[in-house]
Structure 1
Amino acid sequence: MNYTLRNVLPDEIEWLYELNKKSFLDVVVRQFGKWDEVLQRQLFFSKWEQPRPAQIIETPSGRVGVVILEQLEDCDWLDEIQICPNYQSQGLGTTLLRDLHANARSRGVPLRLQVLHANQDAKRLYARMGFLESERLANHFLMEIS
């Protein structure tokens, strides 16, 4: 699937929260037992108080997701990848991950991420792409691909 990336505009933060909710509500409920709207909004918006290296994923249909990637000295850290549920399972995530991995390899660093224990669909995608689990934390698996 073809896509482009562009910077997030200030008026898109609420749209990003709704995307975050669509992407994580079921996973958060499975892992933590409930979705606390007040807490989730607080956690989400507190992350946006400082500028983030976030980019909107657009297809010919319009904006369909977000990717937040930090290029650190020792790795490319995939902080977030969220795709609207109705655009999932169409190859977009796979294509984007391949491109991010190729960019990390060109820099000579691994691509790393974390995934909630309850997000088994995402973990399976990452494993299928060649990511290996490097550590198990209280709520997340750390994964990487070289």
Structure 2
Amino acid sequence: MQRIPVPNITLRQATESDWDFLAAVHETCMRDYAVQTWGTWLPEPRDACRLEIHQIIQSDDGEIGCIAVAEEPDALMLEKLYILPTHQGRGIGTLLLKRLIDSAHASGKPIRLRVLRVNPARQIYERNGFKVDRSTEERHFMSYWPLER
């Protein structure tokens, strides 16, 4: 199998004008998993979207997703890492996780995230050193520790 090369990936801060794009990416990437988990899809309310932690993922093909990371006093919280399905499987998620892991090492803070149990994204996190800390019926709570625990 021939591997598609990782495109040139850049990030830019999300702005109010990105709301429709962010909502569309969120629905495209998460709707099926939400329906599998809860039986329905509820879009994220506009006032719940913290634009200050969102960045738009850009490639040579244009805008292809978003990443949202909140820097808390004791951890980096990976709230979202959504890549449009047409751009998945190209190493973009891994590239962005490696950048975040570098930030974790620089800050000495762990990275924490949650992923729906039905979402196969758990595999990319595990391949990059994340461990499941605990699970509920709906989610896995995972972390990456840059330092020995």
Classify the secondary structure of the residue corresponding to 1:52: helix
Q: Find the counterpart in structure 2 of residue 143 from structure 1.
A: 142
C-alpha separation between the residues in 2 aligned to 1:135 and 1:52?
28
Matched residue type, 2:26: N
Q: Deviations over 1:52-99 (max 9, x none)?
A: 311001111111111110111211110111111100011000110011
Q: Find the counterpart in structure 2 of residue 57 from structure 1.
A: 57
- Is the counterpart of residue 106 in structure 1 residue 106 in structure 2? yes
Q: Find the counterpart in structure 2 of residue 44 from structure 1.
A: 45
- Is the counterpart of residue 97 in structure 1 residue 103 in structure 2? no
State how many pairs are aligned. 139
- Is the counterpart of residue 15 in structure 1 residue 21 in structure 2? yes
Classify the secondary structure of the residue corresponding to 2:17: helix
Output the aligned Cα RMSD. 1.4
Classify the secondary structure of the residue corresponding to 2:78: strand
Among the aligned pairs, what percent are the same residue?
A: 28
Q: Deviations over 1:18-44 (max 9, x none)?
A: 111100111111111233xxxx23x33
C-alpha separation between the residues in 2 aligned to 1:45 and 1:137?
27
C-alpha separation between the residues in 2 aligned to 1:88 and 1:9?
24
* 5+ long unaligned stretches in structure 2: 1-5
- Aligned in 2, Cα 1:138/1:52: closer, same or farther, shift over 3 Å? farther
Classify the secondary structure of the residue corresponding to 2:118: coil
Classify the secondary structure of the residue corresponding to 2:90: coil
Q: How far has the Cα of 1:46 moved from its partner?
A: 3.2
Q: How far has the Cα of 1:9 moved from its partner?
A: 2.2
Partners of 2:101 and 2:111 within 8 A in 1: yes
List structure 1 segments (4+ residues) > 4 angstroms apart after TM superposition. Answer: none
Partners of 2:53 and 2:68 within 8 A in 1: yes
Q: 1:26 aligns with which of 20, 32, 39?
A: 32
Classify the secondary structure of the residue corresponding to 1:89: coil
C-alpha separation between the residues in 2 aligned to 1:59 and 1:128?
23
Classify the secondary structure of the residue corresponding to 1:134: strand
